[in-house]
Amino acid sequence: MTEKKSYSPGEFCWTELATSDWKAAKNFYGSVFGWTADERPMGPNDPPYVMLKIGDKHIAALYENKKAQPGWLGYIAVASANEAAKQAKSLGAKLLSEPFDVMDVGRMANVQDPQGSKFALWEAKRHKGADVFGDPNSMCWNELYTTDVEGARKFYTGLFNWKLKGSPEYTEVHIGNQPIGGMMQLTKEMQGMPKAWIPYFAVTDCDATAKKVKSLKGKVHVGPKDIPNAGRFAIIGDPQGAIFAVIKPAM
């Protein structure tokens, strides 16, 4: 298992699911990825915050919010949540929450980019993010689906100093020489896909994972199909409607 010791500013460091049914989501993702659940009390009458783990390593989290559309939220590491939030606003983003401390584990802000996609800024303290990144059943990539890819390129490079490797079909995001994610323009053929960042989780067998998802009443929206030189992937909807992707990376 490859442990991640720290995250550089601009890297996706964590992902968190808001779901309409935490017990069903916990069971679904446990069956698909083998994740175990560390349920942490939130209040006497509230559902728990669930840390999702492989062994003793934190991978992601989920919590119940019946008022929100189910979906995954990507957290991006920053040196200062306050400064990054200020910069995001200056670039046209909306702050869904001003920077705030999450106990002693970190400081964060929730942001909606100018095109309408949401993400979180994360200034790590006790919690750096996922303990494992890129191994089977852990997050390995993040991809933005947007109605304005040119606007998104301008916004995110201004906020995180990302380096972009673009083509008409796809924009690859780099920190230095390290690819960390991508951006795609939403088209009419992609109707139903949300304006959102979605996480990719690495798997050892994309087709078997897609079959498992279907058996658990999830949906396979795209694939499984091959991406030249990248791997075999599928875009998935869980039973509550949250979108994510799985990929068997090319060797």
- The DSSP letter of residue 216 is T
Grade residue 246 by pLDDT with cuts at 50, 70 and 90.
very high
Say which CATH topology domain 139-249 has.
2,3-Dihydroxybiphenyl 1,2-Dioxygenase; domain 1 (3.10.180)
User: Above 80 in pLDDT, residue 251?
Assistant: no
User: Above 70 in pLDDT, residue 118?
Assistant: yes
139-146 vs 163-166, strand pairing mode: unpaired
Residues in CB range of 249: below 8 A, 6 or more apart: 140, 202, 230, 231
**Of 3.30.70.260, 3.90.850.10, 3.10.180.10, 3.40.50.300, which CATH number belongs to 12-124?**
3.10.180.10
User: What string of H, E and C letters represents the secondary structure of 21-62?
Assistant: CHHHHHHHHHHHHCCEEEEECCCCCCCCEEEEEECCEEEEEE
Instruction: Yes or no: say if 10 and 76 are a contact pair by the CB < 8 Å rule.
Output: yes
pTM of the model: 0.95
User: Above 90 in pLDDT, residue 228?
Assistant: no
Average pLDDT over residues 58-69: 95
User: Above 80 in pLDDT, residue 71?
Assistant: yes
For residue range 188-222, list pLDDT tens digits in order. Answer: 766 677 889 999 999 999 999 999 999 999 999 98
The reported pLDDT for the residue numbered 169 is 81
Q: Would you list the domain boundaries of the chain?
A: 12-124, 139-249
Grade residue 15 by pLDDT with cuts at 50, 70 and 90.
very high
- Residue 179 preceded by cis peptide, ω within 30: no
Q: Vertex 228, ends 223 and 231: CA angle to 5°?
A: 60
Order of strands across the sheet with 12-19? 36-40, 49-54, 57-64, 12-19, 71-77, 118-124, 106-112, 94-102
Average pLDDT over residues 171-175: 95
Q: Vertex 167, ends 176 and 145: CA angle to 5°?
A: 85
Domain 12-124 and domain 139-249, same fold? Reply is yes
Which carries the bigger pLDDT value, residue 191 or residue 29? 29
Average pLDDT over residues 65-74: 94
Using alpha carbons, list the distances in angstroms from residue 177 to 79, 169, 222. Answer: 20, 21, 29
User: Above 90 in pLDDT, residue 43?
Assistant: no
Average pLDDT over residues 121-144: 96
The reported pLDDT for the residue numbered 1 is 60
Average pLDDT over residues 223-250: 93
Structure tokens given for 18: 């808001």
237: β partners: 219, 243
Structure tokens given for 15: 């992902």
Structure tokens given for 124: 């790590």
- Mean of the per-residue pLDDT values of the chain: 94
The pLDDT > 90 percentage for the chain reads 83
Average pLDDT over residues 183-189: 83
Cα–Cα nearest to 239, from 32, 15, 14, 16: 32
Order of strands across the sheet with 163-166? 163-166, 171-175, 178-185, 139-146, 196-202, 243-249, 231-237, 219-227
Beta-carbon-side half-sphere exposure of residue 2 (alpha carbons within 13 Å): 9
